[in-house]
Amino acid sequence: MSYQFITSAKLPTRHGEFDLHVFENEDGQEHVMLSVGLPVVDPLPEKNAMQTRPIKPHTKSIESSVPLVRIHSECLTGDAFGSLKCDCGPQLNTAMEAIQATGYGAILYLRQEGRGIGLTNKIRAYALQDQGHDTLDANLMLGLPADARIYDMCGPMLAHVGVDEVRLITNNPDKVSYLTDNGINVVERVPLVVGVNDSNADYLATKRDRMGHLLDKEFYTKAHLNK
């Protein structure tokens, strides 16, 4: 599937100012990159924000420090509503803070809600979790994959700002493998364990024990300490 850069603008946030870049695939699905301190390789002319131009690979090497990058899949409930069922909101905000502090990096915000199953199915899975099923089994009971996310847009998004090596903020080894397999050098994996609470400790334990995420062995919440 091909991806095109659409337009960009400045985005002031409570964490600092980012450059916001919008990308679109051939099906019209939009993805966003927030960047700090990264040069744009092929900017879109301002005369028409609906024009598109193929993303071209960067031709110069990165000479300064390796950028800090977070691949973050959309989570309406966590990112916007502050849900305690997951750690998505705290992860996003912590990554934004870290990239601003570093002054050189990006967040690839991918529009694949609910690990790729969509918002409605995610809430259906929530209902099954309310009955005591874990996050993986809830998806499977709905006839859905445990994780339907894809990362094929990450390469073109990073190429747009000339990045071919990263310090990747993640607990998920699959993201490291995907970037490495597609020519992006992951020079460091930066762990991100934030937002742990009584409502999401079991969710995180499932990601650790059944989905291979690299998390601490124990979560020191009341829910776990009282078991």
Q: Of the candidates 109, 184, 182, 181, which has an alpha carbon nearest to the alpha carbon of residue 149? A: 109
Among the listed residues 124, 147, 167, 202, the single catalytic one is: 147
Within 13 Å, how many C-alpha atoms sit on residue 179's CB side? 26
Is residue 213 a known part of a binding site? no
Is residue 207 a known part of a binding site? no
Q: Could you tell me the end-to-end alpha-carbon distance of the chain, in angstroms, rounded to an integer?
A: 47
Is residue 154 a known part of a binding site? no
Is residue 175 a known part of a binding site? yes
Is residue 24 a known part of a binding site? no
Is residue 74 a known part of a binding site? yes
Query: Which residue do the tokens 């979560």 mark?
Result: 219
Is residue 107 a known part of a binding site? no
Among the listed residues 124, 149, 167, 202, the single catalytic one is: 149
Query: In Å, what is the CA distance from 17 to each residue of 14, 29, 196?
Result: 8, 25, 27
Per the annotation, the verdict on 147 as an active-site residue is yes
Contacts of 62 (CB under 8 A, 6+ apart): 162, 163, 164, 165
Helix (H, G, I), strand (E, B) or coil at 15: coil
Is residue 88 a known part of a binding site? yes
b (16+ CB within 10 A) / e for 56-93:
eebeeebeeebbbbbbbbbbebbbeeebbbbbbbbbbb
Per the annotation, the verdict on 87 as an active-site residue is no
Encoded tokens for 129: 């979790």
Is residue 170 a known part of a binding site? yes
Encoded tokens for 188: 């460091």
Encoded tokens for 42: 């092929």
Q: Looking at the annotation, which residues are catalytic?
A: 147, 149
Pick out the residues of the known binding site for Zn(2+).
Answer: 75, 86, 88
Pick out the residues of the known binding site for GTP.
Answer: 70-74, 91, 113-115, 135, 170, 175
Pick out the residues of the known binding site.
Answer: 70-75, 86, 88, 91, 113-115, 135, 170, 175
